[in-house]
Every structure is written in structure tokens, then in C-alpha cells.
């Protein structure tokens, strides 16, 4: 598997605003996964999008995947202070479910 | 709910000590992983295991070893702890049928 590159490194918004994070990768994938990490805790899986899907929703989360550009985006709508966390993408190309994680995007949502 | 537990949330050890970090999962997952996380470096894979008694090196195995005697338990061993092994250690598990990983809460290790 390969590492995704998240952008921006940090994002600061007000409650109620939307937050968009991007992920780029280099080679073809089976799927791409997004995870969240609250400060000092383990990662929590948010959503998985397969290579033949273009968009996926889960609650306030919307993920898009553009395989031609080798990029994905995570949109959190109507953000809340509880969304404050680091967000990681992991492009998966197969093999023992071995995932690789980059440095992530640190999101701060201010009340 | 899948549960992955790690033996300690915080650990303080001295240089040269042998350190054991334990990870247990309750979902009968075949795959288990150990990562370390350092500021600005993201998560780096140390070792992983896809079956009992099987292990594979990740990206940064030097200074570490692992043990998987039972399916539910994956141990990370620091043979002789050094200060540059001060880090957050995260364990995860997954099954071949479901590609997502489930993480434990992490162990923050300080080596003095």
C-alpha cells in the first residue's frame, strides 16, 4: 500500500462552517479510507470508498474520489466543536490490509 | 463492537530496559499491526502479523520485535529501550474480508 498526502496540514474554522480536506496518492488503488483521531487517542474509521465509486455519504460526511486525478476529498458539513481532531486518508492497494498513514490534517472547530 | 485494548495508556521506562506492549482484540481478526506515531511524521508501521506465529517487518522494525502466540494477542517488544523510542504506540487489527482497521487507544511511552 501507499501513503496518502493530506492537505492542508491544518485547518481552523468556526462551528457551523464546512470543512474540506484533500488527499492525493500516486498509484492505482482498490479503495481509499478516511480515519479520525481525537487528541491522544487511537484512530477511528470513518468511511471507505472503493475505486469504482465517485462519491459516498455518511451522516455529515461526504467523500469524493477522482481516480483520474488520484485524489480524494472529505467534506464535513455543519461542523461542530466535537469534530476537532486529526483526519487521515489511507489509499489501499491490496495485501494483508496493510494501511499506510501520512501526517494527517489537523482540524480545529471553534465554538 | 470491535474492541482493541492495549495494556497501558502511559508507560515510563528507563534506557536499556526491556519493554513489553500488549495488544488484545476480541473480533477474531487475522491481521494485527503495530504503529508508532510521532509529531509531523504520521503513523509508521513497525511490524504486522497476518496469522498466529507469523510476522512481517514494516517500515521501521529496527529496535523492535513482536510475538503472536495466540490469534487475539500481539505483543511489541523493545529489547533495550532507548530515548528515541519515546513515542505513541498504536495497535490495530483487521480481517481479510473487511479492509478497515480497528485501533486501540494507544500507549504513550516515555523512555528516560
Question: Is it true that domain A5-110 has CATH number 2.60.40.10?
Answer: yes
Question: Which of B35, B42, B94 is closest, CB to CB, to A103?
Answer: B42
- What pLDDT was estimated at residue A62? 98
What are the backbone dihedrals phi and psi of residue B75, each rounded to the nearest 5 degrees, phi first? -105, 140
Residue B99 has its nearest CB partner, among A41, A43, A48, at A48
Q: What pLDDT was estimated at residue A22?
A: 97
* Interchain CB contact of B99 with A (< 8 Å): yes
Instruction: Express each pLDDT in B19-70 by its tens digit.
Output: 999 999 999 999 999 999 998 888 999 999 999 989 999 999 999 999 999 9
* Residue in A3, A7, A96 to test binding to B, most B beta-carbons within 10 Å: A96
Q: Band of the pLDDT at B96, cuts 50, 70, 90?
A: confident
Residue A100 pLDDT? 83
Instruction: Report the alpha-carbon distance of residue A27 to residue A50 in Å, rounded.
Output: 14
Residue A53 has pLDDT above 80, yes or no: yes
CB B36 within 8 A of CB B21: no
- Say whether pLDDT at A110 is over 90: yes
| Domains of chain B by start residue, with CATH | 4-101 (2.60.40.10)
* Min Cα separation A98/chain B (Å): 8
Mean pLDDT of all residues in A33-52: 94
Please state the rounded mean pLDDT for residues A26-44.
92
Closest residue of B to A6, CA-based?
A: B42
Q: Choose among B43, B95, B108: nearest Cβ to A101.
A: B43
Residues of A in contact with B31 (CB under 8 A): 96-97
| Domain assignments of chain A as residue spans, ordered by start | 5-110
Higher model confidence: residue B99 or residue A53?
A53
Contact pairs from chain A to chain B, CB under 8 Å:
61
- DSSP readout, A23-72? EE-SS--SEEEEEEE-TTS-EEEEEEEETT-SEEEETTEEEEEETTTTEE
Flag whether pLDDT at A1 surpasses 70: no
Amino acid at each position: 500500500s501507499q501513503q496518502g498526502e493530506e492537505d492542508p496540514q491544518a485547518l481552523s474554522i468556526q462551528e457551523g462552517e464546512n470543512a474540506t480536506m484533500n488527499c492525493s496518492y500516486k498509484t492505482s488503488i482498490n479503495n481509499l479510507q478516511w480515519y479520525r483521531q481525537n487528541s491522544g487517542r487511537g484512530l477511528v474509521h470513518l468511511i471507505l470508498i472503493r475505486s469504482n465509486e465517485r462519491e459516498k455519504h455518511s451522516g455529515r460526511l461526504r467523500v469524493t474520489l477522482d481516480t483520474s486525478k488520484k485524489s480524494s476529498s472529505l467534506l464535513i458539513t455543519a461542523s461542530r466543536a466535537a469534530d476537532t481532531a486529526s483526519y487521515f486518508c489511507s489509499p489501499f492497494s491490496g495485501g494483508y490490509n496493510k494501511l499506510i498513514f501520512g501526517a494527517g490534517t489537523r482540524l480545529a472547530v471553534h465554538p | 463492537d470491535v474492541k482493541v485494548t492495549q495494556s497501558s495508556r502511559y508507560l515510563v521506562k528507563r534506557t536499556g530496559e526491556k519493554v513489553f506492549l500488549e495488544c488484545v482484540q476480541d473480533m477474531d481478526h487475522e491481521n494485527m499491526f503495530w504503529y508508532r506515531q510521532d509529531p509531523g511524521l504520521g503513523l509508521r508501521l513497525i511490524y504486522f502479523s497476518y496469522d498466529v506465529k507469523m510476522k512481517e517487518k514494516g517500515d521501521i522494525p529496527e529496535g523492535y520485535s513482536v510475538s503472536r502466540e495466540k490469534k487475539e494477542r500481539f505483543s511489541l517488544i523493545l529489547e533495550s529501550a532507548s530515548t528515541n523510542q519515546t513515542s505513541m504506540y498504536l495497535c490495530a487489527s483487521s480481517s481479510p474480508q473487511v479492509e478497515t482497521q480497528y485501533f486501540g487507544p494507544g500507549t504513550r511511552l516515555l523512555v528516560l
